[in-house]
A and B are shown apart, each in its own frame.
Chain A
Amino acid sequence: MKQILIGLVTGLLFGAGLTISTMVDPQRVLAFLDIFGNWDPTLAFVMGGGLMVYLPIYYGVVINVRPHFSRHLVIYPVIR
């Protein structure tokens, strides 16, 4: 039950982020990819904003508080 609630909350947050950052608009994404046309750097700001949150919390909190998660993740890509 707790897991389902976590899924719902993170899904809502993620979807809100996609909508607010306009990444739900394929034209916006295509404009980022059109480097020799009328280039629109918005997508880079979205990734930047995401990494600004993810990277420091991963290295500052996750690997200290939940080291078994990060250890698990080293193996994870190899078996997949």
Chain B
Amino acid sequence: MNEIYLQALLGGALIGSASILLMLTLGKIAGISGIVFESLRPGSTDKGWRWSFVIGLICAPLITQMFGFSLPSNIEAPLLTLGIGGLLVGIGTKIGSGCTSGHGICGIGRLSKRSIAATLTFMLTAFGTVTVLNHLV
């Protein structure tokens, strides 16, 4: 098998392990959008682990780069585009109650109908958007 697919499976397995560990210990869904939202929402009662999760998430590449896995050196998009994109993702995941991690891994992993529907919806929408922008415009 192509090496990149093995790498993807291994990375995916790590993501799955992190998510199931969070479920097993704290009973929480490892949804990045939800964790970030609750870490910033005034009045949220369990901010501690959410903040440390986000810090861990951001610091992880510092450790993996010692083993040759690093962040892409440059991202070919203007900062404004990234900002608008990020904002839209944030609004969408709030309305849809979850993102790729929360719905895609934790939700499908619990065979939640709502999460399967959400994942299909955002995947199909994204396939459509990219197809229109790359091939039809």
Contact = CB atoms under 8 A, between A and B. Distances in A.
Contact of B130 (A4, A34, A48): A34
Contact of B53 (A8, A18, A35, A55): A8
Interface string A14-25: 111111111111
B11 A21 contact: yes
Q: Which DSSP category, helix, strand, loop or mixed, fits chain A's interface?
A: helix
Contacts, number: 232
Q: Which DSSP category, helix, strand, loop or mixed, fits chain B's interface?
A: helix
Nearest to A57: B20
Contacts of A48: 9, 12
Interface in B61-114: 61, 63-65, 69-72, 75-77, 97, 100-101, 104-106, 108-112, 114
A20 B11 CA distance: 5
Interface of B: 4-5, 7-27, 29-30, 32, 46, 48-61, 63-65, 69-72, 75-77, 97, 100-101, 104-106, 108-112, 114, 126-127, 129-131, 134-135
22 contacts: A3-B26, A8-B55, A9-B21, A10-B19, A13-B17, A14-B32, A15-B57, A15-B59, A16-B60, A19-B69, A22-B8, A30-B130, A35-B127, A49-B8, A49-B9, A51-B105, A52-B9, A53-B17, A62-B20, A65-B24, A66-B27, A76-B29
